[in-house]
Structure 1
């Protein structure tokens, strides 16, 4: 069972790195499952729109809700997130080379979201790579125990980890 995680500095940086990695891996024929996130700035608001795409080339779900400029609550649309989870579950199988999850977030920390998907991947002996932020690091470590390995936040380092963890010969 293999779990790698990345924590990049800067708003949206982990999303960008994981999206770039997924694109490179897909071009090399790596069989992917999971989600990557794209953030789109909203000029009228200090928040962004958050969309996740089900890998390898599946549906895109808007997982954020526009709650207004003055809102302070969680903007996550739990229904959209759960539909993305269902999409990932539909493609995850024993032939999957790698499961990528954009973030072990609040829902996963509370026992929902992609938590069961991650456990299923590990049961299938599929390596898991995910983003983690500081707010959810303790919950992630409690969930994953001694399994996770933190990987430097560069596409090259992540590609090297994937090559070793998935036992794949990737073009550098």
Structure 2
């Protein structure tokens, strides 16, 4: 199975690595499909960050967080925006991709929604899938993957090497 996950200790670190990976792979001629997350600080720097995803390869960028107010607790994910991103990625996957990158196997995926079906579809199409993961959803991801996913360090070079091995494509020099 061509499925791998990566985790990083710092908040947002996996997002930065996956963004860099997507840019580097595209520069090498690899057709990337999926999403990378972009966090930005809102005007009120004391509040939680805004979460956007860029649909690969060229966009659009979609806001996937809801503004629930400064004191709000709990999940701020906008499920409708996430499902819009899922639909766009699914469409692009069917048009052809060398690799699927999913910024996060999160709560929605753990509950059977979000990118879960897109990940399964890519695996069934023999398209390598790389997923960002956090400790909260690790058990759900392990159950979903049947323990068959490869764990990779959150290092761009290691991730690129995994993609190259699993796509069997010649990478263009950058």
Shift of 1:168: 2.1
Task: Report what 2:36 is aligned to.
Answer: 36
Q: Please state if 1:101 is matched with 2:102.
A: yes
Task: Tell me the residue number matched to 1:153.
Answer: 154
Give the CA RMSD over aligned residues.
Answer: 1.3
- Once the two structures are superposed, the pairs formed by residues 78-93 of structure 1 within 5 Å of their partners are 78-93=79-94
Say which SS state the counterpart of residue 92 (structure 1) adopts: helix
Q: Which sections of structure 2, spanning at least 5 residues, go unmatched?
A: none
Distance 2:55 2:169 in 1: 22
Structure 1 stretches lacking a partner, 5+ long: none
Q: Look up the SS of the partner of 2:94 in the other structure.
A: coil
The number of residue pairs the alignment matches comes to: 172
State the TM-score, normalizing by the size of structure 2.
0.95
Deviation, 1:43, is 5.0
Partner of residue 140, structure 1: 141
| Greater mean alpha carbon deviation, residues 144-153 or residues 131-140 | 144-153
The 8 Å contact of residues 7 and 131 in structure 1, kept in 2 or not, is answered as yes
Corresponding residue SS for 2:103 = strand
Identify the residue that residue 26 of structure 1 maps to in structure 2.
26
For 2:168, the equivalent position in structure 1 comes to 167
